[in-house]
Every structure is written in C-alpha cells, then in structure tokens.
A = this chain, B = another copy of it.
Amino acid sequence: MATKAQATRERILDAAEALFAAEGYAAVTVRQIMKRAGADVALAYYHFDSKRDLFDAVLMRRAEHLNAVRLEALDEVEGRHSDDAPTVEEIIAAFTNPLLDLLAEDHEAWHHYMALIAQVNNSPEWGGELMTRYFDPLVRRFIEALRKALPHCDEAEIFWSYHFLSGALTLTFAETGRLDNLSDGVCRSSDMASIAERMPAFLAAGFERLCAPTTKE
C-alpha cells in the first residue's frame, strides 16, 4: 500500500487544482504548485508525466465522481416517475443539485474544480475537446431525459437550450465575483441557496419556451 505516496499525489493534485482554477493553466508554474504542495519540484515528474498530464489528472479526478452522483440523481428522479415523465425543471435540478451538495460537503475543493471547469468550457482551445471527453456520456443521458420530457420538441432546440444552460451553469458556479460587483452586494456569487432556488426554474422556462409550438412554422 503506497498510502504515503498516494497522499502526496493528492496534495499535488489539490495544489494544482487550486492554482489552475485561480490563474489558468498557462499562468501557473510547476514550481508554484509544488511549493503549495510542500514538496520538491522534481516530485511532480515522478507522479505525473508532464505539466499537461498533471492538468488532465486534475480534471479527471473529480469528473468521475461528479458524473456518478449526477447519474444517480437522474436515475432517482426518473424512478420517482415510473409512468409519467419528470418535468424539465426536475431534470435540470438533478443536473445542478448534486453540485450544490458537493459544494456543501467540501466547498473549498469543489469550488476550485468548478472554477476550473468554467475556464475550460469557455476556452476555444479546450472547450470543444475536453468537455466532450469528460462529460459527454452524462450529458447525453440528460438530453435523452429532456427529450422525453419535451416529446414534441425539435432536437436542435434541445441542444441549443442545453448550450445556454451550460454557459449559465459554468459561469454561476465559477463564483468569479462579477455578480457581487454588478449588484453592489445585493447578490453574492457564493450564495448557493439562491442558486438552487433560481437556476433550475430559469433554465426550465427557457427550454419550455423554445420547445413550445408557437411562432415557428
């Protein structure tokens, strides 16, 4: 059992996660990471192949857990509706609530991770490929569920709606402080209860409006 080495490996990942989240991949040096982790620089290259490999490991580590709990939440919602389909808002809540739970459990860690994901999602260099690699299977399951909840809805409307959702979600969970500045303190980015109350409702309304058979021929 290499439990001691595993622990340092985790410390390295934690340090890298925090720094990458705060300043972005390129702005952070391996030396900074290892200083924060309290270990020698060269040790990074014992546990990981390269800086880039370390970055991938940071992304991977929590992606698996996150996908698992979200899948569970979706299954739970679908299980509650054995005959009818869940509402759009319920499905979206199954997508966002697990995040809120994880943030409640360990805000520090998951907050860093979410801030990092927001940057990746919005990067032309990485957004296309990395988000697809780490999250696509789960997202496709959610889109499947949404399609059932909106049976008369075009495929394109659902994909576009999901894309709007993705942008709103990643920015919101990134907690950049923008909202705090803009609202002069009326709203706080870190107020998870406010997010839980508002985000699923807001987004569900968007889905339903786009999928309503109104103006389009």
Give residues in A with beta carbon < 8 Å to B.
21-27, 115, 118-119, 121-125, 127-129, 131-132, 136, 139-140, 155-157, 159-172, 174-183, 186-187, 194-195, 198-199, 201-210
B172 near A164: Cβ-Cβ < 8 Å = yes
B210 near A171: Cβ-Cβ < 8 Å = no
The residues of B that contact A131 with a CB separation of less than 8 Å are 178
Closest chain-B Cβ to A175's Cβ sits at a distance in Å of 7
25 of the cross-chain contacts (CB-CB < 8 Å) are A21-B124, A23-B26, A24-B25, A24-B26, A25-B27, A115-B124, A118-B122, A119-B119, A121-B176, A122-B176, A124-B174, A128-B177, A129-B181, A136-B181, A155-B183, A156-B187, A156-B194, A160-B187, A160-B194, A163-B178, A168-B168, A170-B171, A201-B206, A202-B209, A205-B209
Copy total for this chain: 2
The 6 closest A-B pairs by CB, nearest first: A167-B171, A127-B176, A128-B177, A205-B209, A26-B27, A202-B206
Closest B residue by C-beta to A89: B209
Binding site of A, secondary structure by majority: helix, strand, loop or mixed? helix
Additional pairs, 20, CB under 8 Å, beyond known A23-B26, A205-B208? A24-B123, A25-B26, A26-B27, A121-B122, A121-B171, A122-B171, A122-B176, A124-B174, A127-B176, A156-B194, A159-B182, A163-B182, A163-B187, A164-B171, A164-B172, A164-B203, A166-B171, A167-B168, A202-B210, A204-B209
